[in-house]
A and B are shown apart, each in its own frame.
Chain A
C-alpha cells in the first residue's frame, strides 16, 4: 500500500513541564481525503496544527509526507511542502484588492519587469472561479464578508499548489449559504486529489462532510475512524470520556440575594438575547467552546465592548452606563482572559500591578499615594494568594510563572473587595498546585457572600467547583444545569448547540 499522504507519528510536545501533546498519531490516508478533527478547547488541536505548520517545533516524534520526513522550520517550509492553513484570523490585507492579496510574494510580470495587472487579474479570476466565486479581482478586500474572504484564502492556498488544506473552525462566521458553498468546494478539491483536515466543533458539519474523523482529548488522539463507524454520541463520549477522578474542592454555601441580573443582552452577530442572574454565595460556571461568546458577554456586561441591547441590574438597580470605573467603585471585578495584554502591566513590578485597580482609594491629601497602604495591601495579597515573588517592588510581572501571574491578577481584584467576580479562564496556563489554591479562594469568596461567574473551557473544574453551569453556543445561552444534574455529555451537547432540554426560566 502506498504511504499515506500525511502521517503524524507519536508526536510529543510540552510547555513549561506540562505535556500538551502525548504520543499523537494522526493519518491522512490518501490524496483527496477529508479528515475531520474534533476536540474540546485545550485538547491540543492548535498545538498540533502549529507543529504541522512549522510555527512550533515538536519535542519528539515524526512527521511524514508521502513517506518522506517532513521537518518544517518555519511557516514558509510548510507552504513549500504544500500544506496550507486557513485560520480563523485570515491573513488578508483589507486595504488591497483580491488580486493584490493573491500575488504578494510573487506575481506575473509584463515585459518591462513590472507587475502586469492584466495577467494578475486574469489569474486571480481563474483562482476565484476554482472556488466558485464570481467577484471582480480588483475588488478591495475591505468590504467583503468573512465567507468571501475565506474563499479568497482558499484560492491563495490553491495557487500555492497546496495538497493539504487545514481548516480551523471555518464556519463560525459563515452564513448557511456560505457554509454550503465551502463544503462543495472542499468536496471538489477532494475529487481533484487535494486533501483536507477539517477542525470544527459543529459535529453535524463534520459528520456531513468528512470521510474519516479523529477525536483528540487531553493531548492524545482517542481514535481515528471512518465515517461509517462514527456517530454523534460516540464522538461526544470520546471527547469527554475522561475519568473524573480528580477531587475538586466544593463547599456548601448559603445562597442569598440576587446581586447581578442581565437581561436581553444582544450585540449584532455576537450575542443573542442573553439573560442570567448571579446570587450571593454561588459560583456559576459559564461553559462553551471557542467562539461561543462567553468572553464577549463578560466584556459587554463590564462595559468594555459596546452592545446593541440589554439591561443590567446590580443589586436590583438598573445600571445605566456600565464602565470599568463604575463597576470597580460599586463592587464588581472582571478578570480577563488575556492576562498578558489586559490583566497585567508586564514590565512593571508585582506591587504596581497588585494595587492597580484600587489606586483611587489610596489617595491621601493632595492626591498623594498612600505608599504604606500600597505596601500593606500588596503584602496582604501576596500572603493570601501565596504569590511567589523574589521582590514585590522590583520583580517585573513578566518574570513570574504563569500561575503566579494569574495570582497577581486575582490579587489585584481581590483588593478592590468586590461582591461580584467575573473570572475568565482563571486557571489557564497555571500549574496544578496554583489551580487548587485559586479554587479555594473562589470558594472562600463565595462563602463570604460573593457571587462568581466562572468562565472556563475546562469541564472538569466547572463540574467540580460550581453550583450551577450555564452553557453558551454561538452567542446564545443554550442550557443551564444544576449541580445535581451535572454531566459531561449534557454540557458538551449544549455547547455544541443542541437545545436538548428546554431552558429553565
Chain B
C-alpha cells in the first residue's frame, strides 16, 4: 500500500510542478501540427478574445477556492451583468454608467452569497446553487425572456477595438485582471490570509485572522469579477439569449482546477495558474471545433476534462468522504 501511495504522490506533485506548462505546450504543438494556422498571431489573439470572460471569472473564483469555498453561481451573474449592460446601454445610459451598474450588480450578488456563507454560515454549495437560480430568474425577469441585442456603437467599438490595431481591449482587460488578482493574492496580507484560511480555518482564527470578513470578501470579489466577465462577453456576443452563459460555471471551475487551484483550499495561483487553465480548456474546445466534432461531444469532453482535473487534485490533497 505504501508503494502505491508513494507513486501517487510522485505522480501528482510532478504533474503540478511541470505538468501545466508541458500540457499546454503539448496541446499547442499538437494543434499546430493539425492546423498550421493555430500558432499564428490572428488565431492566438482570437483564442484569447474568446477566453476573456471565462478567464476573468476564473480569476475571481480563485479567491473563493483558495479560501476553501466554492461558487457555482457565476454563470447566472455573468448573464445578469450582460443583460443589465445591454439594457441600460440600449436605453441611452452612457456606457460608463451602464458598465458601473452592471458591475455593481455582480458585486451585489457576491455580497448576497458572502452574507449567507460567511455570516449566516450556510453551506457554500447550497447558497451558490440557490443563487444560480435566483439570479438567473431576476435577470430573465428584466429581459422578459427575450434575446437582447447590443445596439450601442461605442459598445461595439469597445468590444472589438484593438489597441494599436492589434490587441483587443478585452484581452487587455483579461490579462490585467489576472495580473491584479495575482498581485492581490501574493502581495497583500488579505491574499496570504486566504491561503491560511483555506488550509486551516480554525487555526487562522486562533491567529487573529478575521476569517468571516475575509471569506465574505472572497464572494464579493468573485461576484464582482463575474460581473466584469459578463460585461466583456455581453459586449462581444452582441445577442444575449435567455440561456446565455448557462453552464459556464463548469468551464470556469474546470479552468481554475486545471490551473492548479485546489478544490480543497490553500493552494493555487491566478497567473500563471488559472490563466493556463483557461487556455488549456480553450485549446481543447478550439481543437474540437477544428476537428469538426459533433456538438454533443463537447459536453462529454468537458466532463472528462473536469474529472481528470479534479482527480489530480484529489490525489494530491485529501478531503472528507462526502
Direct contact of A and B (CB under 8 A): yes
Residues of chain A touching chain B, judged by Cβ–Cβ distance below 8 Å, are: 75-76, 79, 91, 93-96, 100, 103-107, 114-115, 117, 306
Give the residues in chain B near A95, CB-CB below 8 Å.
195, 198-199, 266-267
* Distance A100 CA – B196 CA, assembled complex (angstroms): 10
Contact with A along B268-280 (1 / 0, CB 8 A): 0000000000000
Give, as a whole number of angstroms, the nearest-CB distance from B206 to chain A: 6
Give, as a whole number of angstroms, the nearest-CB distance from A122 to chain B: 16
Contact A104 B192 (CB under 8 A): yes
Give the residues in chain B near A104, CB-CB below 8 Å.
189, 192-193, 196, 204, 207, 209
Give, as a whole number of angstroms, the nearest-CB distance from B18 to chain A: 17
* Residue of B whose beta carbon sits closest to that of A90: B203
Give, as a whole number of angstroms, the nearest-CB distance from A254 to chain B: 42
Give the residues in chain A near B196, CB-CB below 8 Å.
93, 96, 104
Contact A93 B183 (CB under 8 A): no
Residue B187 interfacial (CB < 8 Å): yes
* Residue of B whose beta carbon sits closest to that of A106: B189
A-B contact pairs, 23 of them (CB 8 A): A75-B206, A75-B208, A76-B208, A79-B208, A91-B206, A91-B207, A93-B199, A93-B204, A95-B198, A96-B192, A96-B199, A103-B189, A104-B193, A104-B204, A105-B207, A105-B209, A107-B189, A114-B187, A114-B188, A115-B186, A115-B188, A115-B189, A117-B187
Give the residues in chain B near A79, CB-CB below 8 Å.
208
Give, as a whole number of angstroms, the nearest-CB distance from B35 to chain A: 40
* Residue of A whose beta carbon sits closest to that of B202: A91
Contact A100 B192 (CB under 8 A): yes
Residue B200 interfacial (CB < 8 Å): yes
Give the residues in chain B near A75, CB-CB below 8 Å.
206, 208
Give, as a whole number of angstroms, the nearest-CB distance from A464 to chain B: 38
* Distance A468 CA – B108 CA, assembled complex (angstroms): 68
**B124-160 residues at the A interface, CB under 8 angstroms:** none
* Residue of A whose beta carbon sits closest to that of B196: A93
Instruction: Report if A93-B208 is in contact (Cβ < 8 Å); known contacts: A104-B192, A115-B192.
Output: no
Instruction: Report if A105-B187 is in contact (Cβ < 8 Å); known contacts: A93-B196, A95-B195, A115-B192.
Output: no
Give the residues in chain A near B266, CB-CB below 8 Å.
93, 95
> What 10 additional pairs, Cβ within 8 angstroms, besides A104-B207, A115-B186?
A91-B203, A93-B199, A93-B266, A95-B195, A96-B192, A96-B195, A96-B196, A100-B195, A104-B192, A105-B208
Instruction: Report if A115-B187 is in contact (Cβ < 8 Å); known contacts: A93-B199, A104-B193.
Output: yes
* Distance A103 CA – B1 CA, assembled complex (angstroms): 39
Residues of chain B touching chain A, judged by Cβ–Cβ distance below 8 Å, are: 1, 183, 186-189, 192-193, 195-196, 198-200, 203-204, 206-209, 266-267
9 tightest Cβ-Cβ pairs between the two chains A and B:
A114-B187, A95-B266, A115-B187, A93-B199, A95-B199, A93-B196, A76-B208, A91-B203, A100-B192
Give, as a whole number of angstroms, the nearest-CB distance from B108 to chain A: 27
Contact A114 B195 (CB under 8 A): no
* Residue of A whose beta carbon sits closest to that of B198: A95
Give, as a whole number of angstroms, the nearest-CB distance from B183 to chain A: 7
* Residue of B whose beta carbon sits closest to that of A116: B187
Give the residues in chain A near B186, CB-CB below 8 Å.
115
Q: Which of B193, B207, B209 has the most CB of A within 10 A?
A: B207
* Distance A72 CA – B198 CA, assembled complex (angstroms): 28
Give the residues in chain B near A91, CB-CB below 8 Å.
203, 206-207
Contact B188 A93 (CB under 8 A): no
Give the residues in chain B near A100, CB-CB below 8 Å.
192, 195
* Distance A105 CA – B187 CA, assembled complex (angstroms): 13
Give the residues in chain A near B206, CB-CB below 8 Å.
75, 91
* Distance A94 CA – B267 CA, assembled complex (angstroms): 11
* Distance A115 CA – B206 CA, assembled complex (angstroms): 23
Give, as a whole number of angstroms, the nearest-CB distance from A166 to chain B: 15
Give the residues in chain B near A106, CB-CB below 8 Å.
189
* Distance A442 CA – B198 CA, assembled complex (angstroms): 45
Give, as a whole number of angstroms, the nearest-CB distance from B197 to chain A: 9
Give the residues in chain B near A306, CB-CB below 8 Å.
1
Give the residues in chain A near B200, CB-CB below 8 Å.
93
Give, as a whole number of angstroms, the nearest-CB distance from A195 to chain B: 23
Give, as a whole number of angstroms, the nearest-CB distance from A116 to chain B: 8
* Residue of A whose beta carbon sits closest to that of B186: A115
Give the residues in chain A near B1, CB-CB below 8 Å.
306
Give, as a whole number of angstroms, the nearest-CB distance from A98 to chain B: 13
* Distance A117 CA – B204 CA, assembled complex (angstroms): 21
Give the residues in chain B near A107, CB-CB below 8 Å.
189, 192
* Residue of A whose beta carbon sits closest to that of B192: A100
Give, as a whole number of angstroms, the nearest-CB distance from B287 to chain A: 33
* Distance A104 CA – B200 CA, assembled complex (angstroms): 13
* Residue of B whose beta carbon sits closest to that of A112: B187
Q: Which of A95, A100, A104, A107 has the most CB of B within 10 A?
A: A95
Contact B192 A114 (CB under 8 A): no
Give the residues in chain B near A117, CB-CB below 8 Å.
187
* Distance A144 CA – B183 CA, assembled complex (angstroms): 27
* Distance A117 CA – B183 CA, assembled complex (angstroms): 12
Q: Which of B186, B189, B195, B203 has the most CB of A within 10 A?
A: B189
Give the residues in chain B near A105, CB-CB below 8 Å.
189, 207-209
Give the residues in chain A near B207, CB-CB below 8 Å.
91, 104-105
* Residue of B whose beta carbon sits closest to that of A100: B192
* Distance A113 CA – B240 CA, assembled complex (angstroms): 40
